[in-house]
Amino acid sequence: MRPILFDLLFALQAFHVVFLLLHDWIPLGTLSNIAAVRAENSLSKLLIATLASSSFFLFGFAASIPHLHGPYPHWLLLYLSISYLLLFIGELQAWWIPYFGRIQPERVARYKVMFAGTHSFLPARNGITVNTLHVILHATTVTTLLVLAACWQAAAPNIS
């Protein structure tokens, strides 16, 4: 069970790294609108945002390679836990708080341009439509946090 748990954590990390590196650059049919993202962001701003958002997760992923089948060292579990918790907080602030509560007109206007025509199965609320690609990312982030919690428990006898 333990190696599968750590393999799952590694696979979830790989998903996040690939997603964060490529989702603003590679067209994904109706899941993304690359032209709109580029119209709303300069190339240099997009490149900086991609590097900044992916660097923490790329480091964690690279540091996980030697521990692929677990257990992960305490410092790495801590690093990954903090990184993914901060990512989840950012996802809440960027998408779910405006969606369920606080209206943010500037964000609404920006998202309407950047995500126009993208697939969504959730209804619009407060001017925000959480598109399917971001629902997938956010669900994967929650799953990663749950797997990290299980990894902490599995690694507990080995943590000194």
pLDDT per position as a tens digit, 101-144 = 988 899 999 999 999 999 999 999 999 999 999 999 999 999 99
For residue 149, give the amino acid letter.
A
Q: Which pLDDT score, from 0 to 100, does residue 158 have?
A: 57
Supply the pTM of this predicted model. Answer: 0.91
- pLDDT tens track for 5-38: 999 999 999 999 999 999 999 999 999 999 999 9
Which amino acid appears at position 94 of this protein?
A
What average pLDDT does the segment 83-105 reach?
94
DSSP state letter for 121: -
The pLDDT of residue 54 is 95
Q: Which long-range contacts (CB under 8 A, 24 or more apart) does 150-157 make?
A: 150/5, 151/5, 151/6, 151/9, 151/70, 151/71, 151/72, 151/77, 152/77, 152/81, 154/1, 154/2, 154/5, 154/6, 154/70, 154/71, 155/70, 155/71, 155/72, 155/74, 155/77
pLDDT digits (tens, 9 = 90+) for 37-68: 998 899 999 999 999 999 999 999 999 999 98
Domain boundaries, the chain: 2-158
pLDDT of residue 160: 47
